[in-house]
Structure 1
Amino acid sequence: MRLTGLASGMDVDSMVAKLMKAQRAPLDKLNQQKQLVEWKREGYREVGSKLITFSNTTLMDLSLSSSTQAKKAEVSGTAGVLSAAATGAASTGTLDISVQKLATAASTASATGIGNKPGSTLISTLSSETKITINKVDIPIDSTDTIDSMIAKINNSKEAGVTAVYDPASGKLSLTNKSTGADAQLSFGGDILSKFNLAAPTSGQDAQLTVNGISMQQASNRFTLNGVEINLTGTHSAGQSSKINIVQDTDKIVENVKQFVTAYNEVLSSLNSKSDEERYLKYQPLTEEQKKDMSEDEIKLWEEKAKSGMLKNDSILRQSLTDMRTAIMGDIDLGNGKKINLADLGITTGTWNEKGKLYLNEDKLKQALAADPEVVSKAFGSGSIASSGSGQTYEPTDGIYTRLRKISQSSLESMAQKAGTSKTNSDLNASFIANSLMGVELRDLDNRISNMNSLLTRKETQYYKQFSAMEVAMNKYNSISGSLSSFMS
């Protein structure tokens, strides 16, 4: 605690504060410079988050064969016997299927139950045994277990792989394998289960069917054949069958292309917005002193202006935009001297001031698909991207999705090196890489700010010492003056 101005009557604290205000100007500049670097780095992270989502989620999903070569299964013939869904691996054509038997699971049930006993009945009242065995898996039973909790333990045991059902009215228990098929047999043992008088288990059986004249068996009623997911729900009468016709799902392919156009335009708009955002140079980051004289709304409005344009004309963003637009409008080399362009599929750009925004003519795309069902797969889905995802340039043979993913990964690599942003994590709160160029710059600023604070602390102490010395001198002068006055009087 400083006691100042007692002899001089001066407001020393105020005078020191005014002297220090001028001294703090370089420190304010350093803090403002640090804030600008942090805002710019956050801007990179925001852009990076959008590119990661675009590349690693949207484009990755759209590049799957189920998107570029979407098929659908049309079922005809006897109703209620089967359903089907085509995957991207399905080939166009027809499957003629006749189902003779459905796959069943091995099961057992009580011949006579334990009588009318509620599920809250303790197992210990039925047997002193401490385990049951189902499909060679031991399930422990303790003194607090009831019938209901035993049923829950059975059903929750993945290793046992059965479904248990108990009827308290009759006291009967049933066990059914979760897996169907002739190989999935059921076994059980132990004194507890013997109390329920379970019958010998019936064997499971495979589904039996004929597909395009070939007899086959399936352990499950759900299986995939020729890229078609089939679910058997009934059997055919003699001489009957169901037909599964695999055709191209043009509507889904068009919808996926529309989804791409929308996602691409959103990313393009975001990059253009950041690159073109106005920079207001007269709005610098506020100092703590400046904030004291402003309301929260005033501070918010000021900082919105101060943050604006952090990435204006940024070289990384500009390069990304140029590469993306070039990749979109460039020809895709199909080999054998054949090439294709997105314009052939009805995808074009707008006017120059829309800066590369894409538009889709659905009718033209459908016409292209009618002429060549694989055209979208060729134009969008060809090519591959290395698992490292960095330092890659696209090839003329790469499809649009691969090109844009490589461009995105290259941009993310550049931002990681410069700003320390993540190349894989789209979280806006993800930590920065410390040894990036901007990370090193911020550490240097922190050191300079720390040194400046130490210097200012010493300077402030010096000022107070000087004023204290003045106070001591004035006290002495006042003492001498008083003594002389007393002597003269």
Structure 2
Amino acid sequence: MADIGKVGAQVSTAGTSSGYWSGQTKFEKLGNGTDFGEIVKNTIKQQGFHQRRLENWKAQWEQKQKSLKEVNTKMSELSTSLKKMDTIGKFMGRVTSSSDSNSVTAVADSTAPTSPYKVEVNQLARNDIWTSSTGFAAETTVVSPAASKISISCGGKTANIDVPAGTTVQGLVKMLNATTELKGNVQVEAIKTGSEYRLKFSSLKMGESNRITFNSGTTLTALAPANMTNLQQGQNSKIKIDGFPEGAGNWIERDTNTVTDGSKGLTLTLKKKTSPDSVIINVNTDTDKIIENVREFVKQVNVVRQALRDISKVDTTKDENKGSILTGNYGVQLAAHRFKDITATKGRGFNNFNSATGAGDKYNTLRTLGIETETSQSSPDFGLLKIDEEKFQKAMKDDPDGVAKLFSADYETNTSSPNFTIKSVIKGVTKPGTHDVSYTVSGGKITSATINGKVARINGWEITADDMSGLGLAIRVDNKNDGAYTGTAGIKAGKTIEMIETLKDMTNAKTGILNIISENYSGIIKNIDKKLDYEKTRLERLERTLKAKYARLDAVLGKYGGKMKMLQGQIAKLGSSKK
């Protein structure tokens, strides 16, 4: 293909003062000074203006496409970052302290109420330990001179074992530990106590239900029930939390010293008996974690905002305003608008706050926390989110849980009426927000029901949305008395979830707005390539035509040049003969 930057380069000389083209051979400069190589070169260069324009045009579209892909990548990275904080449990935490960490310690998750807890430990959980009264001189001592049987129970399982004659102490230990019913429940050891070996049986799990029983069916004398001694009886831990359960003989009992279900979100590690005294466990909100995540949210959102700004901003500092690579692009404007909409609007499912009654959500927009968009065009952070530290710290001090919910409430449900309850929603399907619920009870059954003004399905005392506006929302009716009832069902989704769902839509490979535009650009670039191919072919053809044309001209001029030399020679002879 023709390269307009190289067409017409010198290739050879003929060793004469004049030059001409002949086929693929080029001779430089005829006697009259004409350089056809330069003529071809400049002609192709002049004719290549359209090719150069197409190449520049292609480069611009490729740069636009590259910029879109870079923004799309940043959006995907933002989504990944936000998924690390998309639930209350991830976004916030609890910090705990103990008045006696040698007796009780605790950890708490975000569902644990912030409060002091009074924990009384009556006893710790222990495993069951037994030893044989019979000692043996060595591990190789035969423990079963004749064939015998052993029957042991633990953890709801019973092992009935046939012991062959001649079994040694060491062989018996291996046999017992390999028994399926005892694996994971009982550990058997032969321990030297001085001059003899004694057998030790330990339950591997704590609690009363994991005590070891040597059954009467045992015929091996050394392990007969009468010859076994219980060194430590397996028992449950027993505690009270804030005096619950009431009554001197009533306790929360578990077969472990790590109690995970004594109080919601609270895990207690029991180390020592405290009864009749108690240990105070304090649970508070981890405000440092919330602050860290809020700052990270703002930082990561600003990365994408800055990227959108860079490819669409207009430089007004010059005499003439100059746009960026994608200034005015509809898709970029739409993406930027959606980002601003999320950060400027009320959280989905959050209610307006009534300062007089205290009803509603006090912190329902980022602005209520002191997070707003920089509107000063003279600021280097124009268009980015900024934090009013004084306002933000005030909100954190006032209601840290409320701040966390605005960011990471994970389909949290509520109703405005005691007459019904939200039974279930489908995350990712049911739209967060406020849904209007209306139903009528007559003759002891629901006769009609709507959700968001659309007829809902009725199944006994349950109402299910049958329209896209409330799809996946199921309501359980609690007030079954005849009458007409109305109210709202709220589903709260924080800003991180809203942002993640929006990013998922915007970065979709097929339907994402920037990907659609990028695909359109691919089509434009493909069409430009077709035009470039045509232009390159045209220039190559023109180059060949010009070379052939000037080669013929060279031949003619060469012929006449020869004649001119001959005539010049003859004239010179005539002149000399006259003398």
TM-score band w.r.t. shorter chain: 0.5 to 0.7
1:88-237 alignment, distance < 5 Å? 88-93=110-115, 94=117, 96=119, 98=121, 100-101=124-125, 184-185=184-185, 203-206=203-206, 208-212=236-240, 213-218=251-256, 228=265, 230=267, 232=269, 234-236=271-273
State the alpha-carbon separation in 2 of the partners of residues 329 and 104 from structure 1. 62
- Give the match for residue 302 of structure 1: none
- Give the match for residue 156 of structure 1: none
- State the Cα distance separating 1:21 from its structure 2 match: 0.6
1:311-460 alignment, distance < 5 Å? 311-332=326-347, 333-335=349-351, 338=360, 340-353=364-377, 355-362=382-389, 364-365=391-392, 367-368=394-395, 372=399, 374-382=401-409, 398-412=493-507, 413-419=512-518, 436-460=519-543
Q: Which whole-Å deviations, capped at 9, do the CAs of 1:71-91 have from their partners, x for residues lacking one?
A: 2222232x3455433223434
Query: Bigger relative contact order, structure 1 or 2, given CA contacts below 8 A and separation 6+?
Result: 1
- Give the match for residue 98 of structure 2: 75
Q: 1:100 to 1:469 in 2, by over 3 A?
A: same
- Give the stretch that moved more between structures: 240-249 or 452-461: 240-249
- State the Cα distance separating 1:484 from its structure 2 match: 6.9
Q: 1:187 to 1:229 in 2, by over 3 A?
A: same
Q: 1:350 to 1:374 in 2, by over 3 A?
A: same
Counterpart amino acid of 1:442? I
State the alpha-carbon separation in 2 of the partners of residues 265 and 202 from structure 1. 60
Q: Which whole-Å deviations, capped at 9, do the CAs of 1:20-44 have from their partners, x for residues lacking one?
A: 1111111111110010011111111
Q: Secondary structure at the match of 2:72?
A: helix
Q: 1:18 to 1:200 in 2, by over 3 A?
A: farther
- Give the match for residue 173 of structure 2: none
Q: Secondary structure at the match of 2:540?
A: helix
Aligned pair count reads 364
Q: 1:74 to 1:471 in 2, by over 3 A?
A: same
Residues 118 and 278 in structure 2, CA contact (< 8 A), matched pair in contact too: no
State the alpha-carbon separation in 1 of the partners of residues 127 and 41 from structure 2. 89
Q: Which whole-Å deviations, capped at 9, do the CAs of 1:194-214 have from their partners, x for residues lacking one?
A: xxx9x9885423375334331
State percent identity of aligned pairs: 18
Q: Which whole-Å deviations, capped at 9, do the CAs of 1:362-420 have from their partners, x for residues lacking one?
A: 5544554565554224422246699999xx9986765322333344444431101111x
Q: Which whole-Å deviations, capped at 9, do the CAs of 1:293-337 have from their partners, x for residues lacking one?
A: xxxxxxxxxxxxx9x811223323323333333332323443598
- Give the stretch that moved more between structures: 399-408 or 21-30: 399-408
- Give the stretch that moved more between structures: 453-462 or 466-475: 466-475
Q: Which runs of 5+ in 1 are unaligned?
A: 106-110, 114-176, 189-196, 282-305, 420-435
State the alpha-carbon separation in 1 of the partners of residues 184 and 520 from structure 2. 61
> Is 2:295 the partner of 1:258?
yes
- Give the match for residue 164 of structure 1: none
1:463 to 538, 542, 546: 546
- State the Cα distance separating 1:448 from its structure 2 match: 1.4
Residues 120 and 276 in structure 2, CA contact (< 8 A), matched pair in contact too: no
Residues 252 and 262 in structure 2, CA contact (< 8 A), matched pair in contact too: no
Q: Secondary structure at the match of 2:315?
A: coil
Q: Which whole-Å deviations, capped at 9, do the CAs of 1:261-311 have from their partners, x for residues lacking one?
A: 333344333433332153999xxxxxxxxxxxxxxxxxxxxxxxx9x8112
Q: 1:448 to 1:187 in 2, by over 3 A?
A: farther
Counterpart amino acid of 1:418? I
> Is 2:281 the partner of 1:244?
yes
- Give the match for residue 57 of structure 1: 80
Residues 309 and 383 in structure 2, CA contact (< 8 A), matched pair in contact too: no
Q: Which runs of 5+ in 2 are unaligned?
A: 1-10, 12-23, 130-136, 140-176, 189-196, 208-235, 241-250, 353-358, 412-424, 435-491, 574-579
Q: 1:95 to 1:60 in 2, by over 3 A?
A: farther
State the alpha-carbon separation in 1 of the partners of residues 432 and 260 from structure 2. 38
Residues 396 and 403 in structure 2, CA contact (< 8 A), matched pair in contact too: yes
State the alpha-carbon separation in 1 of the partners of residues 501 and 87 from structure 2. 16
- Give the match for residue 107 of structure 2: 85
State the alpha-carbon separation in 2 of the partners of residues 104 and 444 from structure 1. 81
Q: Secondary structure at the match of 2:312?
A: helix
- State the Cα distance separating 1:360 from its structure 2 match: 3.4
Q: 1:387 to 1:31 in 2, by over 3 A?
A: farther
Q: Which whole-Å deviations, capped at 9, do the CAs of 1:248-273 have from their partners, x for residues lacking one?
A: 22333233223323333443334333
Q: 1:92 to 1:467 in 2, by over 3 A?
A: same
- TM-score normalised over the length of structure 2: 0.52
Question: Whose strand proportion is higher, 1 or 2?
Answer: 2
Residues 28 and 37 in structure 2, CA contact (< 8 A), matched pair in contact too: no
- Give the match for residue 36 of structure 1: 60
Question: Whose helix proportion is higher, 1 or 2?
Answer: 1
- Give the match for residue 470 of structure 2: none
- TM-score normalised over the length of structure 1: 0.60
State the alpha-carbon separation in 1 of the partners of residues 309 and 268 from structure 2. 49
